Structure 1
Amino acid sequence: MDRRSLIKNAGIAGVLAAGAAPAVHAQAAVRWRMAASFPKSLDTIFGSGEKFSQTVKELSGGKFEVSVHPAGELMPAFGVVDALEKDTIEMALTAAYYFAGKDPIFSMSCAVPFGPTTLQMSAWKDHGNGRKLLDAFFAKYNFRTMSAGNTTTQMGGWYRKEIKTPADLKGLKMRLGGGIFGEAMAKLGVVSQSMPAGDIYQALEKGTLDAVEFVGPYDDEKLGFNKVAPFYYYPGWWEGSADLEFFINNKAFEKLSAENKAIVKAAGAVAAADMTAKYGALNPIALKRLVASGTKLKMFPKPVMDAGFKASMEVYDEHCAKSPEFKKIYDDMRTFQRDQILWNRFSEFPYNQYMNTVKI
């Protein structure tokens, strides 16, 4: 009997009994919500969520859709982890170190002082033990991770005054991304302030803040920091890279078909590559505009970098002494990073060093 006759004679009950149920279920639409910790105006970071959503829809033929919501629309910027834990949303787009108050281990999934560069972070997470160790930790919060893109090495922030020595940092009220960096800066006398991107400009303009670090030239220009703080320092030693991430609710992910799980992973890879490449393309152009408009671009003096390194190592030692779980992940990251640094001595570092000396 052919399929048409089967349906006509047996009806839907017969179809299900004959084993056609999987085909029926496979057509069921999937609708997810993604809450971001960023405003829509940041087309680099927020744009990764939009790229993910677009790719999921295209790959599924419109049967799987993800709506993307900026900070404050579904919940506050820093409320996404609690929402994932309570199964309120299916996924989030955020920076893990925003939640270091829950546990400092969160920081290692995004950025830590004197931590891995972009390529090193990607290698550690996806071909070392990084993602396996971190996702095992995040399981207690009911989510798993995928990279949403990397900002690459960040700038050192905007300051109302020059930073010539470590003493110039004492008493400075500064917006920091969060996590271990804030603890290291506290050892240098900085008063750390944590706030969403949308609130920073007004605080800097009113003098509630003396300084701010965010990402880099393109995003910083969009947020207008150059209008109220003239000194722009580099490098951001606290973020040799910053891996933004998709946090995915474990229960929601496990409910997906094998095909839709593959779509989520593929869409995440597309979005992550797009964000990272976008920063590479847009930051140099934005930096030239900022300097042309009067921004005073300065490199942190070595004594400031050295003081930051010393303070950071003290913070790591303190956390390793208190938490075996922190120590396990931290030691693994550093062991991997040492090999990466060794390789860079013979690869990217000498190449880039030479290219900085010639005219092309």
Structure 2
Amino acid sequence: MLTRRTALAGLAAPAVLGLAAKARAATRTFRISHHYPGSTGDEGDFRDRMCRRFAASVEKRTEGAMRFEVYPGSSLMKTFAQFDALRKGALDFGLVPTTYAGGQIPEMNLTFMPAIVTNYDQAYRWKTAPIGQEITRLLESKGVKIITWMWESGGIAARDKRILKPSDVSGLKVRGGSREMDIMFKAAGAGAISMPSNEIYLALQTGAVTACATSSTSLMSFRLNELSKYLLAPGSSSFFFILEPILMSKDIFDGLPKEQQDAVLAAGEELETFGRKTSEEDDKLLVETFRKSGLTVDTMDEAMIQPWHDVARDSAWKDFAARSSETARFLKLAEQA
């Protein structure tokens, strides 16, 4: 028998189903790409874990309206293709060293400039200093938004020779990691070879390079202790730091509702503490790991930085400042940070 209650229930059912369908349609999946090894839980490369923490945080803040797929190890696209894909809106998010954009945006080479940043406190001052504001402005004008500021220090792993000072690289084939690092190593007498960090293992294995500079996390994640005999590791100071933020396509960001934009920014900023803490922990873990593998390990201090600073200033810094009035201006701002 059809009662008023069952009739109303019947009328309500399509409306409820319609709302549920609309909610499902509103859910959107975003892709995060990087070229580092994947991780599991609390184990593995912290940069992949950082991306997964970010994804989980945003999903929770948006109650599932934003969902994520993380693609480690260049499994979605090639390493150097990521930044351009972000600019064009073909990639939603990426954890990418900003120096990899240096070919398109010369000012970004400053973010892996030898001896311009020598400790974590100085590195993280950039975010609110004029140099950080200019980097943010410039990237956004090119279609890319910084979501999480994250810096890493690193060291030099070598197969054949202990490296302490610039003259020690003379005659070696060195992977510098950035245009400016390569310029400095060349000025010190090395042959510089360019490649992303996920290609270093094979290059060391084949002898294409005999030494490499990269972040502490990459030195461990790519198992470079297996092919090296010597390590110059970061200590109380380091002669290089790398800006490796979580980036987002500005077109994609601008297309989000305000509440989702806020969720993305809040999750990104919250992760900065994790990024710094884990970077510093990896600097210490690097020393332990490579010593356990039987390598000769030296750690940098402020006194050791000065010779590297002198060579960098007279080569890489000079070259960077000469490229344009804007690169010269950016270098001055960096020196003031």
Give the TM-score normalised by structure 2. Answer: 0.82
Quick one: distance in 2 between partners of 1:209 and 1:294?
21
Q: Deviation string for 1:288-329 (max 9, x for gaps)?
A: 242133110125799985553233213323332331111222
User: Residue 47 and residue 106 in structure 1: after superposition, are their counterparts in 2 closer, same or farther (change >3 A)?
Assistant: same
Match of 1:350 in 2: none
Contact 2:32 2:94 in 1 (8 A): yes
User: Residue 175 and residue 318 in structure 1: after superposition, are their counterparts in 2 closer, same or farther (change >3 A)?
Assistant: closer
Quick one: distance in 1 between partners of 2:109 and 2:268?
21
Aligned sequence identity (%): 19
Match of 1:115 in 2: 116
Stretches of structure 2 that go unaligned for 5 or more consecutive residues are 1-7, 16-21
Q: Does 1:32 align with 2:30?
A: yes
Match of 1:57 in 2: 59
Quick one: distance in 2 between partners of 1:301 and 1:268?
31
Q: Which amino acid aligns with 1:135?
A: T
Q: Which amino acid aligns with 1:102?
A: Q
Tell me which moved more, 132-141 or 53-62: 132-141
Report the Cα offset of residue 85 of structure 1: 2.3
Quick one: distance in 1 between partners of 2:294 and 2:189?
29
User: Residue 282 and residue 233 in structure 1: after superposition, are their counterparts in 2 closer, same or farther (change >3 A)?
Assistant: closer
Report the Cα offset of residue 37 of structure 1: 3.0
Quick one: distance in 2 between partners of 1:34 and 1:139?
18
User: Residue 190 and residue 55 in structure 1: after superposition, are their counterparts in 2 closer, same or farther (change >3 A)?
Assistant: same
User: Residue 309 and residue 205 in structure 1: after superposition, are their counterparts in 2 closer, same or farther (change >3 A)?
Assistant: same
Match of 1:231 in 2: 230
Stretches of structure 1 that go unaligned for 5 or more consecutive residues are 13-23, 337-360
User: Residue 164 and residue 270 in structure 1: after superposition, are their counterparts in 2 closer, same or farther (change >3 A)?
Assistant: closer
Match of 1:334 in 2: 335
Q: Deviation string for 1:19-51 (max 9, x for gaps)?
A: xxxxx8999223221221323255211221111
Q: Which amino acid aligns with 1:32?
A: F
Contact 1:150 1:272 in 2 (8 A): no
User: Residue 186 and residue 296 in structure 1: after superposition, are their counterparts in 2 closer, same or farther (change >3 A)?
Assistant: same
Match of 2:4 in 1: none
Tell me which moved more, 207-216 or 229-238: 229-238
Match of 2:246 in 1: 246
Match of 1:222 in 2: 221
Match of 1:339 in 2: none
Q: Which amino acid aligns with 2:135?
A: L
Report the Cα offset of residue 275 of structure 1: 2.6
Tell me the SS of whatever aligns to 1:162.
coil
Tell me the SS of whatever aligns to 1:213.
strand
User: Residue 288 and residue 237 in structure 1: after superposition, are their counterparts in 2 closer, same or farther (change >3 A)?
Assistant: closer
Tell me the SS of whatever aligns to 2:112.
coil
Report the Cα offset of residue 64 of structure 1: 0.9
Q: Number of residue pairs matched?
A: 314
Q: Deviation string for 1:114-144 (max 9, x for gaps)?
A: 123322222221x222332112222343112
Q: Does 1:298 align with 2:298?
A: yes
Report the Cα offset of residue 246 of structure 1: 1.6
Match of 2:104 in 1: 102
Report the Cα offset of residue 194 of structure 1: 2.5
Report the Cα offset of residue 230 of structure 1: 0.7
Match of 1:324 in 2: 325
1:73-222, aligned counterparts within 5 Å? 73-108=75-110, 110-116=111-117, 117-125=119-127, 127-151=128-152, 153-163=153-163, 166-216=166-216, 219-222=218-221
Quick one: distance in 1 between partners of 2:329 and 2:265?
27
User: Residue 113 and residue 43 in structure 1: after superposition, are their counterparts in 2 closer, same or farther (change >3 A)?
Assistant: same
Tell me the SS of whatever aligns to 2:155.
coil
User: Residue 194 and residue 321 in structure 1: after superposition, are their counterparts in 2 closer, same or farther (change >3 A)?
Assistant: closer
Contact 1:97 1:106 in 2 (8 A): yes
